[in-house]
Amino acid sequence: MAHAVDLLYRALYRGVLARLPEPAAIALGQWGLRHLPLDHLPALRRADPRLRVSLGGVSLPNPLILSSMYYDPRILRRAMGLGFGAVTAKSITSEPRPGHPEPNLVRIETPEGPGLVNCNGFRNPGLEAYRRALAGLPHRVPLIVAAAGESAAEYARVVAGLEAFGDLVEINISSPNTRLVYAWSERPAELRDLFRAVRAVTAKPIIVKVSPDFREQNEAHVIPAALNAGIGIVNWGNTRRVEEPRLSQRAGGLSGPALFAATLDSVRRVVARFGADLEIIATGGIDAPDKARAVLDAGATACAYFTGFITRGPHLARSILDALVDARR
Ligand X SMILES: Cc1cc2nc3c(=O)[nH]c(=O)nc-3n(C[C@H](O)[C@H](O)[C@H](O)COP(=O)(O)O)c2cc1C
Binding site for ligand X (CB under 6 A): 67-69, 90-91, 105, 116, 118, 120, 146, 172, 175, 209, 238-239, 255-256, 259, 283-286, 305-308
- Whose Cβ is closer to ligand X: residue 98's or residue 275's? 98
Residue type, 11: A
- Whose Cβ is closer to ligand X: residue 37's or residue 245's? 245
Chain-centre distance of CA 133, in angstroms? 20
Give least dist CB 318 to ligand X, A: 17
- Whose Cβ is closer to ligand X: residue 23's or residue 230's? 23
- Whose Cβ is closer to ligand X: residue 152's or residue 316's? 316
Give least dist CB 157 to ligand X, A: 17
- Whose Cβ is closer to ligand X: residue 46's or residue 90's? 90
Give least dist CB 239 to ligand X, A: 5
DSSP string, 46-98: ---GGG-EEETTEEESSSEEEPS----HHHHHHHTTTT-SEEEEEEE-SS-B-
User: The dihedral of CA 76, 81, 310, 168: what is its sign?
Assistant: positive
Give least dist CB 257 to ligand X, A: 7
- Whose Cβ is closer to ligand X: residue 217's or residue 239's? 239
Distance CA 167, CA 143 (A): 5
Among candidate residues 93, 107, 110, 62, the one with its CA nearest the CA of residue 292: 62
Give least dist CB 26 to ligand X, A: 8
Burial code (b: 16+ CB inside 10 Å, e: under 16) for 67-79 equals: bbbbbebebbbbb
Among candidate residues 140, 142, 141, 150, the one with its CA nearest the CA of residue 171: 150
Give least dist CB 243 to ligand X, A: 17
Contacting residues for 283 by C-beta, under 8 A, at least 6 apart: 65, 67, 209, 235, 236, 237, 238, 263, 303, 304, 305, 306
Give least dist CB 305 to ligand X, A: 4
Residue type, 283: T
- Whose Cβ is closer to ligand X: residue 47's or residue 151's? 151
Helix axes 152-162, 188-201, angle to 10 degrees: 20
Beta strand segments in 127-283, E: 143-147, 168-172, 206-210, 233-236, 240-243, 251-255, 279-283
